Amino acid sequence: MGADPKTIAVIVVAAGLGERMGGAPKQYRPLAGRAVLARTIEAFTRRRDVTWVLPVIHPQHAERYAALGLSHPRLLDAVPGAATRQGSVLAGLEALGERAPDLVLIQDAARPLVNDAVIDGVLAALGAAALPVVPVTDTIKRSSDGRMVDGTEDRRQLFAAQTPQGFAFADILDAHRRAAAAADDFTDDASIAEWAGIPVTLTAGSARNIKLTHPEDFERAERLLGGGSMETRTGSGFDVHPFEPGDAVWLGGVRIPHGARLKGHSDADAALHALTDAIYGALGEGDIGSFFPPSDPQWKGAASSVFLKHAAGLVAERGGRLVNLDLTIVCEAPRIGPHVQAMKAAIGAAAGIAPSRIAVKATTSEQLGFTGRSEGVVAMATATIELPRED
C-alpha cells in the first residue's frame, strides 16, 4: 500500500459585495439556472480527492448563502470574510487551521466554469505553489498616464493568472500571516507566495475558466454552459452471478420465483450491477466494488437499487443527465419476458428516468457454456449520458 493520500482543502472566496453589476451580488446570481457560487462549490465537492470545501462569504450574505441550500459531506460551514480579498483568504486559512490539510486550493467564486483538467493540473504541480495561467493574446502596452504609450511588453513572457491557485497549506498560511502585517492589497495568493519567496509553478489554465466580472461575461458563460457544451458519453457494464440453492432470484430490481437464487454479497442482481457499472463507465469512474466494497458488511444482502441510484446521482451531481439504458440478460431460466415491464419500471425508479428510455432484453445461450448449463446468469448493459463538456 502507498502512503495515505494527501488531504486537500479548497477555499472558495465569495466574500465580495459583488455589486459592481447592480442587482443581486454576482456570486448569487443564477447562471444557466444555478447560482454562480453553487456551481463553483460543486466543481470541487464532486471531486473525491478533495477533503473539505470551505466557502468564505460576506457577513451580510449569510441568508443568501443559506438559501442556496447546499449540503455535501465535504462542504464545511461557511465562514465570514474580511474587507479585502486578502483578508478573506486569511480568514479561510485560519478557519482550516485545526484541520491542517496538506494542500489548499484557493478559488474565486466568480469562476464557476473551472474544470477538472485545470484542477488536476494544479494538484499535479504541487509542490510548493502552483498557478493556472493562460497566455496573453492581446499585445500589451505600457502607459504611465493612460494617455501616451511608454512601450510594448513582450507578451511571450506574460500570462494571465486564474484560480484555483494551489499551495502547501502550512507555507501559504505562514506567508499570508506575515503579508497581513505588510500590506492588504495583494490581489491574488500567488502574489503572496512570490512575496514570501515561495517558488510558484505555472500550469495550464483554460480559456473557458473565465472570471465573471461584466454582464457580458454572464452571457458568454451561459453560452459555454448551453446545449453546445454538453457531450454524449457511453459506458458498458458486464456481470455474472452463479446460482445457489434458493427459491427466487432478483433481476432488474424484480423478485422472480425460481428453483434457485443468485449468489453474491448483495441481493446479487446481476442486471442492476451491469447497469450501474455502465453508468460509472460513462462517467469515467470506477466500478461498483470501488464505491461499495464487498468487504463492507453494510452491503450484505443490500437491494442493488441503492447502487443504481448512486450512479445516477453522480450523473446529476456533475450537471449531466441519463439518456438511456440498454440491458441484456443471458440465462436459460427463469423466463424474463413476463417481467420486462416490471423491470423497466424498477430500473426507471432507481435511475430516475422514464421506462421509455430503458430497454430490457433477454436471450438464452442455446444451452452452451455456463449459462447454458444453468449454472449462472450473465447481464450486459450500455448507458448513454450527457455531461457538460469540461475540456
Residues that bind Mg ion (CB under 5 A): 239, 273
CA terminus-to-terminus distance, the chain: 32
Residue (74 or 273) nearer to Mg ion, CB: 273
Q: How far is the CB of 297 from Mg ion (least distance, A)?
A: 17
- CB 4 → Mg ion: shortest distance, Å? 29
Q: Report in angstroms the alpha-carbon separations of 57 from 37, 49, 70, 139.
A: 10, 24, 14, 36
**What is the H or E stretch that residue 59 is in?**
none
**For every residue of 125-168, which 3-state class applies, written as one string?**
HCCCEEEEEEECCCCCEECCCCCCCCEECCHHHCEEECCCEEEE
Cell numbers linked to 131: 498557478
Residues in the chain, total? 391
Residue whose CB is less far from Mg ion, 176 or 273: 273
β-pairing verdict for 254-257 and 321-330 = unpaired
| 239 versus 390: smaller Cβ distance to Mg ion | 239
Q: Which is nearer to Mg ion, 165 or 276 (CB)?
A: 276
To the nearest whole angstrom, how small is the minimum distance from the Cβ of residue 376 to Mg ion?
11
Which of 353/381 has CB closer to Mg ion?
381
Torsion of CA 126, 122, 3, 318, to 10 degrees: 160
Residue facing Mg ion at closest CB distance: 273
To the nearest whole angstrom, how small is the minimum distance from the Cβ of residue 273 to Mg ion? 4
Report in angstroms how near the CB of residue 3 gets to Mg ion at its nearest. Answer: 31
Residues 334 and 243: their CA atoms lie apart, in Å, by 11
> Cβ of residue 340: shortest distance to Mg ion, in angstroms?
21
The CB-of-274 to Mg ion minimum distance in angstroms stands at: 8
Q: How far apart are CA 207 and CA 16, in angstroms?
A: 24
Based on CB atoms, which residue is closest to Mg ion, 206 or 371?
371
As to burial, measured by CB atoms within 10 angstroms (0-12 exposed, 13-18 middle, 19+ buried), residue 150 is: exposed
Residue 198 backbone phi and psi in degrees, to 5: -85, 125
- Could you tell me which residues come within 8 angstroms of residue 30 by beta carbon, excluding any fewer than 6 positions away? 36
Q: How far is the CB of 322 from Mg ion (least distance, A)?
A: 20
Euclidean distance between CA atoms 42 and 44, whole angstroms: 5
Contact 103, 167 (CB under 8 A): yes
Q: Which is nearer to Mg ion, 188 or 239 (CB)?
A: 239
What's at 390, amino acid-wise? E
Q: Which is nearer to Mg ion, 61 or 273 (CB)?
A: 273
